[in-house]
Structure formats: structure tokens, C-alpha cells
Chain A
Amino acid sequence: MRIEFKQSKAPQFDTLPLINIVFLMLVFFLVAGTIAPVYELDVSPASAKDSEAGELRRPAVFVSRDGKISFGQREVAMDQIQESISAAKLDPQLGLRIAADRDADAHLLLNVITAVQKASDVPIFLVTLRSD
């Protein structure tokens, strides 16, 4: 008597549903997400529920939680800010955006704001995260 063994076939893996899902996820991330801005200092701004929607302009001044300040994509010392800002000739229509970390020392931020006000009369905006 001959016993027939079943040929063990590898099950055919159907890739089409997989691609469908991956495409759907791709489209979701393309549509729903915006490319995260890359800041030169590690800054996560304070959250404020209904602050005004900011235009998607890059902040010019960054204040990090460990007390570092940067302006124009390079780090500056506190006593050089006023000088750099008056040299930069800012557009009063656009104003100046400051991104300060939520845990940054507010006194440092205030010093920066005062220095900017002394150097130029552009409106100053603090960047917030609208957590809604």
C-alpha cells in the first residue's frame, strides 16, 4: 500500500492587503501631519489652549531650559542680544518670534524680551503650543 504524503506547501502570502494598509497609512501621515520644525536648541514651548494661530514662520530667538539663547541660528550670550538684534534690521510688519522652553527661567526670557525691545520696536511674539 502506498501512503501519499501531503506536499507541505508554504502558504502563499498575499501582499496586496498589506500594501493597501501601508498606502492608507502613508496617505494619512502625508495629509494629517506637518513636517516637525527642527529647532537649533532643544525647546518645547509652553502650551496655551486658545492662543492665536501662528503663521508658520520660524522663530528667530530661542531660549532653552538650560539657559542658552540663540538668535539667527547661532548661540549668543545675553549681553550680545541687543547688539545682534539692532544689527539685524527686523521687519516691523513681521515682528519677532521667540520660542522659549516651558521650563526655561522666566527671568531670562524677560531679559531677552527687554533687550529686544531696547534694540528694536518690532512686536514680539511668544511661540506656544495650541494643545486643542
Chain B
Amino acid sequence: MLEPIATIRRPLPITPLIDVVFLLLMFFMLAASFQKEGELQVQSAGSQLEQATDTKPLFIRLHADGSTDVNGQTVPAKELGREAANLISANDKLAGAVVQVRQGTNTQLVVQSLMQLRRARVEPVALAR
């Protein structure tokens, strides 16, 4: 007669489990990114601004050394939006802005300036070189 095999209860080995969990942890630590992406609509000069004939856009220049000017007046880069909004609200012949990017300017300054103009509700804004 066959004897029933005694079932031995072994404790579950946890070392392989820990190995796998560590591997997963490593993977997610290295692959995770906490930065959130955003987006900003841009256009270069030539399309919308030419249609408006009764108003003129502000003329903003971005220089390679990080300085900016609005209609020829030097303005700190952080005040750009406010200054542009002030000029537009003072003169109803002005609307929108053309941002001229000078040689050697980096993308960060362009994005920063566009964000300021958007916050100050200066629209439409076109980029030019």
C-alpha cells in the first residue's frame, strides 16, 4: 500500500522575492521622471498680423546678452509683459506684438518672453528674425 507523502510546510523563501522587488525598484527609480511637460503655441511673423491694418503691433527685441527692449526702450526681461501691456492699454492703435529675435539669443529667453506676453494678455504675438 502506498503511503501518503507527508506534506512538509517549508517557509516561503523570500530572498528571490526581494531580488525581484529590488530590480523593479531600481528600474522605476532610474526611469521615472517627475518633470511635467507643457506647451506653448508659437507662430512666426507673416500670417495674422498683416491682416490687421488699423492697429500696429508692439516691436519687442530680444538680445543675445539677455536684455530686451520694447519699441526701442530697454526694459528688464522680467518686466517685459507688464511694460507691453501698459503700452497697449495706453494706446488703442497698438495691438499684439512682433518679437524680433537677435542673433545669438537662446531659446530659454524666447520662451520666457512669450510666457510673459501671454500672462499679460498681449495677443497675437509673432516671432521674427
Contact indicator A22/B108 (Cβ below 8 Å): no
Inter-subunit contact A26/B115 (CB<8 Å): no
Determine whether the beta carbon of B28 is less than 8 Å from that of A113.
Answer: no
* Minimum CB–CB distance for A92 against chain B, Å: 13
Tell me the count of chain B residues lying within 8 A, CB to CB, of chain A. 44
Select which of B22, B33, B40, B128 is within 8 A of A22 by beta carbon: B22
Residues 101 to 117 of chain B near chain A (Cβ within 8 Å) = 101, 103-112, 114-115
The answer to whether B107 touches A106 (Cβ under 8 A) is yes
**Which chain A residues lie closer than 8 Å to B35 at the CB level?**
129-131
A11 at the interface (CB under 8 A from B): no
Q: Is B71 an interface residue (CB 8 A)?
A: no
Chain A residues with Cβ below 8 Å from B101 are 106-107, 110
Cα of A93 to Cα of B31 in the assembled complex, Å: 31
| Given known A-B contacts A101-B107, A105-B104, A124-B43, A53 and B38 have beta carbons under 8 A apart | yes
Q: Can you list, as one digit per residue, whether each of A12-34 has a CB less than 8 Å from chain B (1) or not (0)?
A: 00010011001101100110111
Which chain B positions have C-beta within 8 A of A117?
43-44, 46-47
Binds B, one of A1-9, A44-52, A66-74, A75-83: A44-52
B52 close to A (CB within 8 Å): no
Please give, as numbers and ranges, the residues of chain A lying within 8 Å of B22 by CB-CB distance. 22
Tell whether, in the assembled complex, residue A54 and residue B39 are in contact, meaning their CB atoms are under 8 Å apart: yes
Residues of B82-129 at the interface with A, using a CB-CB cut-off of 8 Å, are 101, 103-112, 114-115, 119, 127-129
Seed contacts A26-B21, A128-B40; 8 additional CB < 8 Å A-B pairs: A19-B18, A22-B21, A29-B25, A33-B28, A33-B33, A51-B39, A52-B40, A113-B44
- A interface residues with partner B (beta carbon < 8 Å): 15, 18-19, 22-23, 25-26, 29-30, 32-37, 45-56, 63, 95, 97, 100-107, 109-111, 113-114, 117, 123-132
